[in-house]
Amino acid sequence: MSRNRGSGNGVFFQRTVFLMSLFLVLLFTSYELLETPPKDFIAVKIIGFKREDDCFSIALFLKNNSSGKHEGHLIFLIGYEGSRVSEDNAFYCFTNFRTLGFRTVTLNPGEGVKLNVKLPMDPEAERIIIAYCWDASETVQTGYYSPVLLRRDDTVWVQTWIG
Amino acid sequence: MGSNLDRLKHQDWYLISVFSIALLLRMIPPLKYGLPYGFDVYEFVSRVFVLNEEGSVSMPHGPLFYYLQLVVLKTVSYDMFMKILIFVEPLVFAFFILPPYFVSKQLKTEGNKPVYTLLYLAVTNLFVHQVGGVVIPEGLGILFYGLSILFSMRALTRSWRWMLPAMLSSFLTAMSHHLSAFQLTLFFSSLFLSYLYYYLKQEKTDSLLRLLVLMFSTIVLLLASSAYVWSLAGEEENMLRLILNMVLEKPFLLLLIMVIMFLFPIVTVKTAGFVKKYPKFTFIKTFMSVLLVGMLIPVALTLMLHPDALPTILWFTVPISLGFLPFTIHGFIQYCKKSSQYDSLFFTAPLIVFMIEASALLSLGDYRVLIHRIPTFIMFFAAPLAGYGLSCFSSELRSMEKEYLAGMMIAYFIFSLASTSYPKPEFTYGIKESISYSELKLAEDAYSYSLLFNSKIDTDTRLGALLMFVSRRNAFWTGNLTSWFLPSNSWLVNVSVSGETYPVEKDVLIVISNAMMEAYSGRVVNLITKPSGPLRKEAIDYLNNSPGIDRLEDVQNGAIYMFSPWKRLNQSDNGFSSRWLKP
């Protein structure tokens, strides 16, 4: 390359710095925006609880704070002595629980559903866990008495102690 | 249209590209998260809500930021206020980088290209983060800090009358941000002492004497207004109060400060003279030695004092040591060589006093952690030198090939500075800065539960800021301590510090998020100056499996726990039908 217009006085350097910096910052910004975390989430909460003569009444509120439709199972688990919940960043594991039943719940985008659940008394039961799981591969069987493994990203759960 | 474009000079295109870079970088968090970035802003805005409801609330750092936000909130609706806070204010704050650019334009030395200064200001990680990336009082304080520097430079080089806007700007600095005001006090003190010595030894003119009187008045004004803000804010988080506490605790410091004040002007004047006369400063030598010192000293000090901070130090230090520091030192040397001693003192004196301040902070046990707040101010002041250093470097390139290669390298340095603006938790001691919608929902519901159960709420500083925001500061948050050094005594903090679990209190809601958990490289945030750690697996197991502790809510990113809440409620109410939580 021969010395020509702009060389030797920093003009070419200046152009290179500004154009390349702008290009790299544009790339960086695009990358950051592609990495945008999801804004959507599902929430479940207990909004009321009462012990009645022959059952427990639990009022739940499920809310779909997302732009997509969610169809999932509401799973009722009864925990007995020695029941244990453990979690890591991939799964929830419910050990020594009995699956009391399940119900399919569909949540439209932005929809919140109030559910009144009545569960029968069980003198040996210590706690009740209600999990909402929208993992399509998850199958639920009533009366199942063994560790239940639910994918963390597809599950929300609440619990109350009754023992 | 075409003719208008033709009229744009090359320089204008450079300015447009730099501002595009500055705005793009500052708009990353709003576009990415759709919420205000960082958790401090929620804490600050919660106070604005209280002011809006004509309540009484302290205003940490200084009242100006809160009242400016209040004006916006009073002018527009809440929804519009939030949109302005999220999307407009980062853009407005981006323009706060302008004062050092104008300082750079004041430099009388040949070959200076102020647009390089603006480029540094647009991309340097600490500026992107603190000025625009997060909307906090510090950004406002930095604007007035920069303006005070600009006006005082004009006063020294043009007319003493510029000290009057400098005084006004100093007052506004004190009203905006305590640390900016403290740094500005140091800046003016260093100038006053150095120019006083210069006046006594070399130039006994009336104009300089008048300037010295005005500078001293500015220092008094700054101290008085900082003390006023301290009494107004009523919080311990005030740099002036901290220094007074330190002096009261260790009286020998007063003697040390007096000795430093006596020796300081001699050191600055001699340093400026030495740099001017010493012939062996070349860019390559400067670059290599600064790179070595700029990397080795921070890494060695970190390994000695805070080994756990090494990822954070490397994250910020490597790009700064490569891309900013060598050019600043080169610019400083060249400026001292090419300008008069009177002019060069303007940069020499504050830089030396800031170095003394940093060393003093590092040597002061519990207070040394505050060192992380200082670099932004030093670099904001030194940015014109970095721009000048890069200008000098570019003019020393003698061929197009060298210009191209050097240009590409510098562009990558600039990129490394820009891309480290928003560190992930792995590089911030496990602190997740961004907030998610689910965490906001969690805070809202925690407040609703606390009203239903008449209970306190235990959560960390990060979620606590959201709690204050959603409850308009009405929530009873047990960890609500804003002072720097008082330990928080909540279950979450104690468990995260000790790693040991112990029974939870019966009337406390415990609100946890994934961002606190060790499994997510997180940490229970308890302010940077207080001890805390991650929420370990044992603590989560304890909450999930201790008899009586209900898990009331799950929002995927976090959960709310409480000991036997319904039992207490039903005992007091005899039935839940009338005492449900509103969905």
Q: Which tens digit of pLDDT belongs to each residue from B392-409? A: 999 888 888 999 999 999
Nearest-by-Cβ selection for A10 from B395, B547, B554: B395
Q: Is B83 on the interface with A (CB under 8 A)?
A: no
Q: Is B412 on the interface with A (CB under 8 A)?
A: yes
B359 touches chain A (CB under 8 A): no
Tokens of B200: 């006594």
**Cα distance from B102 to chain A (closest Cα, Å)?**
19
What pLDDT shows up at residue B541?
A: 95
Q: Residue A101: beta bridge partners?
A: A76
CA distance A47 to chain B (A): 5
Asked if A157 and B33 come within 8 Å (Cβ–Cβ), the reply is no
Show residues of chain B in contact with A28, CB under 8 Å. Answer: 415, 418-419
pLDDT-derived band at A1 (thresholds 50, 70, 90) equals very low
| B440: CB partners within 8 A, 6+ apart | B35, B466, B470
Residue of chain B nearest A89, judged by CA positions: B519
Minimum CA–CA partner of B402 in chain A? A13
What single-letter amino acid sits at B218?
T
- Is A47's CB within 8 Å of B581's CB? yes
Residue B299, C-beta contacts closer than 8 angstroms, at least 6 positions apart: B310, B313, B314, B317
Note whether A1 contacts B551, CB cutoff 8 Å: no
For chain A, give the percent of residues with pLDDT over 90: 53
pLDDT of residue B128: 96
φ, ψ dihedrals at A16, nearest 5°:
-60, -45
* Predicted local confidence at residue B243, as pLDDT: 79
Q: Which two tokens stand for residue A97?
A: 């629980």
pLDDT at A4 > cutoff 50 = no
What is the distance in angstroms between the Cα of B21 and the nearest Cα belonging to chain A?
6
pLDDT of A108 strictly over 70? yes
Question: CA A36 to CA B371: how far, in whole Å?
Answer: 32
Report the candidate in B103, B129, B102, B99 with the shortest Cα–Cα distance to residue B417.
B129
State the burial class of residue B238 (Cβ atoms within 10 Å of its Cβ: 0-12, 13-18, 19+). buried
ipTM of the complex: 0.92
Alpha carbons B268 and B195: distance in angstroms, whole number: 10
Is residue B355 a contact partner of residue B377, using CB atoms and an 8 Å limit? Answer: no
- Contact state of B583 with A114 under an 8 Å Cβ cutoff: yes
CATH, domain range A41-161 = 2.60.40.2550
Residue B434's pLDDT is 94
What is the chain B residue with the closest CA to A129? B551
Residue in B540, B566, B583 closest to A160 by CB: B566
CA distance A55 to B582: 23
Residues written for chain B: 583
Distance in angstroms (rounded) separating the CA atoms of residues B569 and B449: 11
**How far apart, in Å, do the first and last CA atoms of chain A sit?**
85
Asked whether B464 and B484 are in contact (CB, 8 A), the reply is no
Q: Mark yes or no for CB contact A18/B119 under 8 Å.
A: yes
Q: Name every chain A residue with its beta carbon within 8 A of the beta carbon of B547.
A: 126-127, 161, 163
The angle that helices B137-157 and B98-106 make with each other, rounded to 10 degrees, is 10
Phi/psi at B49 (nearest 5 deg)?
-60, -40
| pLDDT profile of chain B (583 residues), mean per 10 | 59 90 96 94 95 91 94 96 96 96 91 94 95 93 97 94 96 94 96 94 89 96 90 70 79 85 90 81 79 83 83 88 92 91 93 91 73 90 96 89 93 96 88 94 96 93 94 88 65 90 91 94 82 90 95 96 84 54 66
Per the rule left: phi > 0, alpha: psi between -120 and 50, beta: everything else, B564 is left
* B570 touching chain A per CB within 8 A: yes
Q: Distance (Å, rounded) from C-alpha B481 to C-alpha B504?
A: 20
Q: What is d(CA B453, CA B480) in angstroms, rounded to the nearest whole number? A: 19
Candidates A1, A2, A3, A13: best to mutate against B (most CBs of B within 10 A) is: A13
B215: number of CA atoms within 13 Å, CB side?
28
Confidence of residue A2 (pLDDT cuts 50, 70, 90): very low
B126 in Cβ contact with B162 (< 8 Å): no
Separation in Å, CA of B534 to nearest CA in chain A: 14
Cβ–Cβ gap B553/A44 under 8 Å:
yes
SS3 state at B433: coil
Q: Which residues are CB-neighbours of B441 under 8 A, at least 6 positions away?
A: A41, A43, A65, B555
Q: Which of B460, B523, B520, B462 has the alpha carbon at shortest distance from B492?
A: B460
* Residue B299 burial (CB count, 10 A): 16
Q: Whole-number mean pLDDT of chain B?
A: 89
Run of H or E including A49? strand A41-51
Nearest beta carbon to residue B580 from set A9, A47, A87: A47
Nearest to B440 by CA among B459, B422, B423: B459
Tokens matching residue B348: 């020499």
Check A3 against B434: CB less than 8 A apart: no
Write the pLDDT tens digit of every residue in A85-94.
999 989 999 9
Facing residue for A157 by CB, picked from B32, B401, B554: B554
The answer to whether B97 and B122 are in contact (CB under 8 A) is yes
CA distance, residue A27 to nearest chain B CA (Å) = 10
- The residues pairing with A157 across neighbouring beta strands, listed in sequence order, are A131
| CA count, 13 A, side-chain hemisphere, A47 | 21
Say if strands B508-513 and A155-161 run parallel, antiparallel, or are unpaired: unpaired
Tell me: the pLDDT tens digits for B416-454?
A: 999 999 998 888 888 899 999 999 999 999 999 999 999
Question: B556: which chain A residues are within 8 Å (Cβ-Cβ)?
Answer: 41-43, 153, 156
Domain map (residue ranges) of chain A:
1-36, 41-161
Residue indicated by tokens 């080089």: B157
Q: Dihedrals φ, ψ of B555, to 5°? A: -120, 25
What lies within 8 Å, CB to CB, of B409 at 6+ separation is: none
Query: Rounded to an integer, what distance in angstroms lies between the CA atom of residue B75 and that of residue B68?
Result: 11
Strand partners, B558: B513
Residue pair B142/B156 in contact by the 8 Å Cβ criterion:
no
| Residues of chain B contacting residue A22, judged by C-beta atoms under 8 Å apart | 17, 20-21
C-alpha span between A158 and A80 (Å, rounded): 16
What one-character DSSP code corresponds to residue B543? H
Q: Is residue B460 a contact partner of residue B479, using CB atoms and an 8 Å limit?
A: yes
Sequential DSSP letters for B258-306: HHHHHHHHHHHHHHHHHHHH-----HHHHHHHHHHHHHHHHHHHHHHH-
Closest CA to B562 of B480, B505, B493, B499: B505
Cβ atoms of B139 and B91 within 8 Å: the answer is: no
Strand bridging mode A155-161 / A127-133:
antiparallel
DSSP classification of residue A146: S
